[in-house]
Amino acid sequence: MEAEYRRPLKVSKQLRLPFHYSEELFRYFGAETVDSIDNSDYENATIIRDLNMPVDGSLKNKYTCVWDGGTLEHIFNYPAALKNCMDMVEIGGYLVLQTPANNMFGHGFYQLQPDIFFSVLCVQNGFTDTKVLVQDGWKRWYEIVPPKIIKDRVDICLSNKPCNLTVISKKIGDVPDVLSIQQEYFVDIWTNKNTKWSSNPLLEKMFKTFAGVRICQFIYFNIFCRLFEGMKKKRFYKPVKLVSRI
């Protein structure tokens, strides 16, 4: 998959700038047919659908690529909207999603994290080779290592700039009618008894007290956050150490 989506792109014609919608961009890269879906016709979408509801059979397995450049986080029934996108990709095609991850409070209904895509876009649900990239601000990109590989949650604490996720996954089979999703990290714990949490009674008692909570908050906000950027540069911060720089 990596070689396929990083290969030089076929250009069908010269791109005329500026353009206000993405159809011209996709045609520039060789798309023969471009459809757009919206709940309203106010921007002349070719298909009018409420993605809170399942799409009909005529749209399933129809497109070589389904691209979401920032729509799904605005749809209340996010699982249904994501499944609609999965259903619309033809077998052998690709699903590409871009969505807010952090520091975009008020932008949409949701800010997402990598584990939902590793958990949903898996072989059991008809997808494989799922890649999740995080864009830290406008300059730094990281590829996330799946939790099942690192045996831990990817608790990335990045900068105070807007962070976005880009997800790329290849469809290899039909999507089940009903998706039953559990967070991948916890499934590994249940299945393999792979837990790193200690059960020290003294520590547990301290953290449950008001004083313990206040101490933790002080350490986090006044020490850890101030030192974080320096720690990250030295690769001491574990989640950043477990992602690969693009």
How confident is the model over 75-132, as pLDDT tens digits? 999 999 999 999 999 999 999 999 998 888 889 999 998 889 999 999 999 999 999 9
Least confident of 148-152, 156-160, 198-202: 198-202
End-to-end Cα, the chain, rounded Å:
16
Which residues, at least 6 apart from 181, have a Cβ–Cβ distance to it below 8 Å?
79, 116, 119, 120
Q: How do strand 140-143 and strand 127-136 relate by DSSP bridges?
A: antiparallel
Give pLDDT tens digits for 178-188. Answer: 998 888 777 77
Alpha-carbon gap, residue 28 to 15, rounded angstroms:
6
Alpha-carbon gap, residue 41 to 181, rounded angstroms:
33
Residue 208 has pLDDT above 80, yes or no: no
Give pLDDT tens digits for 30-45. Answer: 888 999 999 999 888 9
List, in order of start, the domains of the chain with CATH numbers: 35-197 (3.40.50), 198-238 (no CATH)
Kindly report whether the global pTM for this prediction surpasses the value 0.75: no
Q: What pLDDT is stored for residue 57 in this prediction?
A: 93
Tokens representing residue 29 in the block: 């890269």
- For a pLDDT cut of 90, what percent of the chain falls above it? 40
